[in-house]
A and B are shown apart, each in its own frame.
Chain A
Amino acid sequence: MANMRVALFITCFNDTLFPETGRATVGVLERLGHEVVFPEAQTCCGQMHFNTGYQREAIPLVRRFVEIFEPYDAVVAPSGSCVGMVRDLYPMAADLAEDDDLARRIEDLAPKVFELSEFLVKRLGVTDVGAYYPHRVTYHPTCHSLRMLKVGEAPLELLRNVRGMDLVELGEAEQCCGFGGTFAVKNAETSAAMLGDKIRRVLDTEAEVCAAGDNSCLMHIGGGLRRLQAGVDTVHLAEILHSTEER
């Protein structure tokens, strides 16, 4: 695959809370020979507003996103759920705004927006990024990557090619961890009950690291693990893929 110019959609969440994931995403893409650009005007895709019901408030954010990212051939984000917002829910936002022009532009843009693992595997056809990560790792397939984006096996294919790594299967892996955005606060008790079961499955694997493609779910799972002093880390997929023998 010829080298590409890729726009990084960092997501406001990673920008603020998990900059290391952004740096790793840039690192992996550049190591594969692609040029990464970071449109600095970007802020938030509007997912939290939209999914919580503040949809009129999300419309200006949708417009901004489209304006900022439509000039690029490929947009990549280290987050399944923000990409899911753009691909699955932006059309609904355009409908709500009763803006046909916006709807058309979204239709053009949406297929060019990728979650990192699907970009690597499905768009670039790469499954071995030359990573080295000498740890016992279990992988939680986040719901939006799995069911909205249908990334399927892509993240696992990448992980299986990481050298030095002991990848262990997570039981009931496809069950939601209970994050769900504002759900974790609005229905905190139910979210906690789901988290409890997820943590039990993670601990069953005896892994040192629980990985996923979405830091929001990882913040939730990791927050629970830390509260329990469980001694299990949570690490974003991008950081594992970025890790090499040299560093």
Chain B
Amino acid sequence: MTPKTKPPDAFSPGQTPTFEVSARESLRDAQLRRNLGKATQTIRRKRTVAVEEMPDWEELREAGRALKERTLRHLDKYLLQLEESVTRAGGVVHWARDADEANRIIAGIAREKGAEEVVKVKSIATDETKLNEHLEAQGIHAFETDLAELIIQLAGENSSHILVPAIHKNRAEIRELFLRELDVEELSDEPKDLTNAARLYLRKKFLGAKVGISGANFAVAETGTVSVVESEGNGRMCTTLPPVLVTLMGIEKIIPAWRDFEIFMQLLPRSSTAERMNPYTSFWTGVSGEAGDGPQEFHLVLLDNGRTDVLADEIGRQTLNCIRCSACLNVCPVYERTGGHAYNSVYPGPIGAILTPQLVGIGKPGSDSLPYASSLCGACYQVCPVKINIPEVLVHLRGKVVRHKQDKGTLRQKLDPENAAMQAMARTFSDPKLYERAQRLARVGQLPFARGGRITSLPGRLAGWTAVRDLKPIPEQSFREWWKEERG
């Protein structure tokens, strides 16, 4: 396999395009629209069934939210407790302030072991830090072992979904890719055959790798136990076969006690894959020691990379409740149409629209456009198993984006016509006299555009409206004029 570089995203250095611009391209792709529509509709329907059979679902969501919020309030305490527990079990804990630090720590471990190849189980945190690229630059090749991750790695693409990174591809497209990249002669597009081809290819990698790299769904402060929840079993192999295991984990993934799994193991599988229970859940505590089965060396890298800044924001901090189930993506009407790539972020969809701008910081045009990639319909909040009020955070972040432009932006941003229009309208709405005059002026102002009772084309920013919609002309008499006439 030849290493391919993935396109840059919000976590890469430099700028990324705005959502509006990238969405335009995705929306035109009929195959993508069909793949996504089918996939999200299916999983949506299944999730509803899986959730509806739970009589205490709302109580569970509330318990999940409360537990996450309590943990985040005392994060410092729990993190130190986790460090102690992991160390006691024979593991080593590393603290990484940012992506660079995390990558240096992990590459250092791989180099020390003389590894030229490492196997990875899907970890979005390593996508966030761009670990693969960092390792590649040092001559270490990272093999993704999750089927969907493997697919997009082979294709040199970015993930477009948290849980199903290759959701944008269909079977025929995957078959072609495997024929090209995996050294197989013949292959059908049956899921069984495709999986088998990947399995044969990966089996060798698992057995040869000296270092395995994983993410984590949860880590228990009390016991030092780390957990990966997955469907394919590749994670189990990554975390048990190589003699050295390195886990990169965002600091918010911590839970206080073992029994807290009770809540999340009910919430997560039903929300993500619409299953009562997922096929593979791995737990490990430190190193395997005498038993010999499992890693002899275990490193846990705790990643901040902007998370403590998120924690400092009273409204934004609920974002860190996220257990990456991806239910919000599957119900999002925007995501369903544009797919994940339009977000230019390893975290796409509603959660990406609130997490990414907070992690990378307000003031970057690409990620600043993400809170606007929503009609605020609220479908995400309704399904979120840890009750993150995503619309509320979206609106909050829009406020931060605008205030940042107004207070710290360039002159051009300050002179932005949208800003000027909003200021003028705010003044108008503050005074009924001005407001009534504006109503009359608008009625006259529309005359050049109204034809035969319809407005079919408008200039400037409003052209986006009339591109696909007529606008109803403003009627002769406003409600208040009628009221004054009839009742005043």
Contact = CB atoms under 8 A, between A and B. Distances in A.
Interface of A: 10, 12, 14-20, 22-23, 38, 40-44, 46, 48-58, 60-61, 64, 88-89, 92, 96, 143-144, 146-148, 174-176, 178-195, 219-220, 222-224, 226-227
B333 interface: yes
B245 to A, nearest CB: 42
Contact of B23 (A18, A187, A195, A220): A187
Contact of A44 (B419, B429, B464, B468): B429
A185 B480 CA distance: 28
A51 B469 contact: no
B58 interface: no
B333 A178 contact: yes
B482 A19 contact: yes
A49 B381 contact: no
B374 interface: yes
Contacts of B432: 40-43
Interface in B297-346: 315, 333-334, 337-338
A19 B395 contact: no
B426 A183 contact: no
A190 B425 contact: no
A58 B426 contact: yes
A149 to B, nearest CB: 10
Contact of B398 (A22, A53, A187, A188): A53
B229 interface: no
B23 A15 contact: no
B101 interface: no
Nearest to B389: A88
A149 B458 CA distance: 33
B487 A188 contact: no
A224 B465 CA distance: 10
Contacts of A22: 479, 482-483
Nearest to B467: A188
Interface in B1-37: 19-20, 23-24, 27, 33
Given A58-B426, A176-B333, A189-B23, A53 B469 contact: no
Given A15-B478, A192-B469, A223-B471, 18 more contacts: A12-B429, A16-B442, A19-B475, A23-B482, A52-B398, A52-B402, A53-B398, A54-B426, A92-B392, A180-B376, A185-B465, A187-B23, A188-B464, A188-B465, A190-B338, A193-B337, A194-B334, A226-B469
Contacts of A17: 472, 474-475
Contacts of B33: 193
Contacts of B19: 187
> Which 4 residue pairs across A and B have the least CB separation, nearest first?
A180-B375, A188-B464, A223-B469, A53-B402
B467 A192 contact: yes
A227 B402 CA distance: 33
A47 to B, nearest CB: 10
Contact of B375 (A43, A49, A50, A176): A176
B113 to A, nearest CB: 47
Contacts of B27: 189-190, 193
B471 A60 contact: no
Contacts of A12: 429, 435
B401 A53 contact: yes
B111 interface: no
Contacts of A48: 425
Contacts of B334: 187, 190, 194
Contacts of B375: 143, 176, 178-181, 183, 191, 194
Interface string B123-137: 000000000000000
B377 interface: yes
A38 B465 contact: no
Contacts of A192: 467-469
